């Protein structure tokens, strides 16, 4: 077996005296599309942020180097908390990472062309001259995806990519991710609560409820026992047997609608 793209070893996180994650041991298989699922408050986002080095944790998170050097991460946050009044276009956002020359002396043609083709690959090329604050949730999500892809990441980390968009938009985004992953060969690690997207698009899952309740290939891992352990008891009523498939989004959502 090849080395995992990320491995969590005995990772615990305590914030403000509350234990959010407890001894998490998990691996993200290289080249996989791994989904972290679990109820609200399970520590899904916390695990992502720990992997990104954004919050203190105990234990170890290993992100092995790749042949070209230290592994690069691309991050697509759930909701970008930013100032919508900021006068900044989508193209500004795309160019300000790679361009050294300050934006106030202009944007380089080369960087703009490169950014444009990235935006095309996420179907956002028509948004290039739009103001960032004027984008809808789904549009912003695609732009942030382009921004993350720009780094040519080894691991693409996404937090609830389907949260700001409708159901059609959610599966559209996942199809887009499948295409990009096939073309670029990154490992994808995403947090989601949308089980229908998981069964349709994730190759692997990590079931989390403060600790790891189960992990492995999606079809063999998502059984009634693991889901019950992850989401609580009454998930037993959900009919999850026709896996893998994408037919039971309502059931998949049920357990934490009231959590």
Partner 1 sequence: MPDLTWLYDAVARLLPFEAMQARFMQRALVELILLAPMCAVMGVHVVNFRMAFFSDAISHSAFTGVALGLLLGADARLTMVGFALAVGLAIVAVGRRTTLSIDTVIGVFFSTVIAFGLAVVSRDRSVARTLQMFLYGDILTIGEAEVWLTAVLFAALMGFQAVGFNRMLYVGVNPALASAHEVPTRTYQYVFAALLALVVIVSVWAVGVFLVTAMLIVPAASARNLARSAFGMFWWSLVVAATSAVAGLLVSAQPWARTATGATVVLCAAGWFAASALASRLR
Task: Indicate whether 132 belongs to the interface with partner 1 (CB under 8 A).
Answer: yes
Q: What burial letters (b/e) apply to 211-229, b meaning 16+ CB within 10 Å?
A: bbbbbeebeebbeeebbbe
Nearest-approach distance from CB 177 to partner 1, in angstroms: 18
Q: Which is nearer to partner 1, 60 or 79 (CB)?
A: 79
User: Taking CB under 8 A as the rule, does residue 88 contact partner 1?
Assistant: yes
Taking residue 178's Cβ as centre, other Cβ atoms within 10 Å add up to 15
The distance of closest approach from Cβ of residue 117 to partner 1 in the complex, given in angstroms and rounded to an integer, is 19
Segment near partner 1 (CB under 8 A); pick from 80-88, 119-127, 135-143, 186-194: 80-88
We find the least distance from the C-beta atom of residue 119 to partner 1, in angstroms, to be 16
The residue (of 74 and 138) whose beta carbon lies closer to partner 1 is 74
- Which CB, 37 or 95, lies closer to partner 1? 95
Q: Give the nearer residue to partner 1 in terms of CB position, either 28 or 95.
A: 95
Nearer to partner 1, 99 or 230 (CB): 99
Binding residue (CB under 8 A) for partner 1 from 32, 35, 63, 92: 92
57 binds partner 1 (CB under 8 A): no
* 137 sits near partner 1 (criterion: CB under 8 A): no
Query: Total residues contacting partner 1 (rule CB under 8 A)?
Result: 39
Q: Is 100 in the site for partner 1 (CB under 8 A)?
A: yes
CA 63, 69, 70 angle in degrees (round to 5)? 30
- Applying CB under 8 A, does 17 fall inside the site for partner 1? no
Q: Binding segment for partner 1 among 141-149, 171-179, 215-223, 227-235 (CB under 8 A)?
A: 141-149
Residue 102 interacts with partner 1 (CB under 8 A)?
yes
- Our measurement of the distance from residue 187's CA atom to the centroid of its chain's CA atoms, rounded to an integer in Å, reads 10
Q: What is the 3-state secondary structure (H, E, C) of the chain?
A: CCCCCEEEEEEEEEECCEEEEEEEEEEECCCCEEEEECCCCCCHHHHHHHHCCCCCCEEEEECCCECCECCCEEEECCCCCCCCCCCCEHHHHHHHCCCCCCHHHCCCHHHHHHHHHHHHHCCCHHHCCCEHHHCCHHHHHHHHHHHHHCCCCCEEEEECCCCCCCHHHHHHHHHHHHHHHHHHCCEEEEECCCHHHHHHHCCEEEEEECEEEEEEEHHHHCCHHHHHHHHCHHHHHCCCCCCCCCCCHHHHHHHHHCC
List binders of partner 1 among 151-180 (CB under 8 A). Answer: 151, 157
Residues that bind partner 1 (CB under 8 A): 15-16, 49, 52-54, 72-75, 77, 80-83, 85-89, 92-93, 95-97, 99-100, 102-104, 106-107, 131-132, 144, 147-148, 151, 157
């Amino acid at each position: 077996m090849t080395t995992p793209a990320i491995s969590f070893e005995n990772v615990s996180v305590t914030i403000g005296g509350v234990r959010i994650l407890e001894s998490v041991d998990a691996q993200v298989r290289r080249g996989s599309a791994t989904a972290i699922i679990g109820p609200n408050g399970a520590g899904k986002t916390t695990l992502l942020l720990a992997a990104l080095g954004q919050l203190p944790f105990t234990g170890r998170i290993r992100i092995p180097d790749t042949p070209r050097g230290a592994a690069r991460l691309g991050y697509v946050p759930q909701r970008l908390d930013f100032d919508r009044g900021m006068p900044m276009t989508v193209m500004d956002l795309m160019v300000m990472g790679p361009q050294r020359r300050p934006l106030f002396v202009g944007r380089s043609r080369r960087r703009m062309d490169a950014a444009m083709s990235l935006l095309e690959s996420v179907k956002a090329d028509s948004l290039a001259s739009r103001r960032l604050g004027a984008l809808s949730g789904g549009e912003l999500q695609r732009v942030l995806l382009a921004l993350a892809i720009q780094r040519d990441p080894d691991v693409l980390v996404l937090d609830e990519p389907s949260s700001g968009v409708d159901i059609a938009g959610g599966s559209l985004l996942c199809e887009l991710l499948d295409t990009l992953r096939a073309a670029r060969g990154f490992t994808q690690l995403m947090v989601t609560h949308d089980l229908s997207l998981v069964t349709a698009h994730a190759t692997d899952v990590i079931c989390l409820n403060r600790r790891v309740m189960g992990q492995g290939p999606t079809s063999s891992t998502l059984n009634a026992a693991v889901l019950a352990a992850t989401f609580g008891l009454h998930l037993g009523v959900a009919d999850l047997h026709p896996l893998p498939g994408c037919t039971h989004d309502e059931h998949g959502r049920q357990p934490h609608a009231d959590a």
